Amino acid sequence: MQKSILLIGARSDIPHLMSGANFFLFPSIAEGLGMVAVEAQAAGLRVLASDTVPRECEAIPGMVTFQPLNAGAAAWAKEVLVLMKLPIPDLATCNQAVKNSPFSIENSAAALLKIYTGQDQ
């Protein structure tokens, strides 16, 4: 596996790295939120995620598809091929949709401020 996987450490250029991808595969056993799936959507990538990833990670409707891990590699590969045939999403539209979502730093900060000041009730 060392020839197939490269651990690159902490990076600040994730959008640049994702721009070289055509698709984002996210087979996770357990996730708290799956923020990396949100980042992938902002980069204009469709996501195939395991059904253990919370549905809330779908910042852009139709950009995330969920698949059971136990469906097996063949089912995952088949689904990737189906999703890769869909039209390529517009990067600017995807980026703006995530900025307008609850996941943007501005919207997250505003939501936290409401919670901390008791205005969320």
Spatial separation of the C-alpha atoms in residues 121 and 111, rounded to whole Å: 12
As a whole number, mean pLDDT of residues 90-96 equals 92
pLDDT of residue 8: 87
H/E stretch holding 47 reads: strand 47-50
pLDDT of residue 76: 97
pLDDT of residue 1: 67
As a whole number, mean pLDDT of residues 101-120 equals 88
- % the chain with pLDDT above 90: 64
- The single residue listed with the structure tokens 């959507």 is 41
DSSP summary character for residue 49: E
- Cβ atoms of 63 and 94 closer than 8 Å: yes
Q: What is the CATH number of domain 14-117?
A: 3.40.50.2000
71 pLDDT tier (thresholds 50, 70, 90): very high
- What type of residue sits at position 66? F
Please provide the average confidence, as pLDDT, over all residues in the chain.
91
Spatial separation of the C-alpha atoms in residues 91 and 80, rounded to whole Å: 20
As a whole number, mean pLDDT of residues 40-60 equals 95
Spatial separation of the C-alpha atoms in residues 121 and 105, rounded to whole Å: 22
Strand partners, 26: 49
| pLDDT of 115 strictly over 80 | yes
54 pLDDT tier (thresholds 50, 70, 90): very high
Q: Enter the tokens of residue 24.
A: 């984002």
| pLDDT of 5 strictly over 70 | yes
pLDDT of residue 70: 96
- Cβ atoms of 51 and 69 closer than 8 Å: yes
- In the chain, where are the structural domains located? 14-117
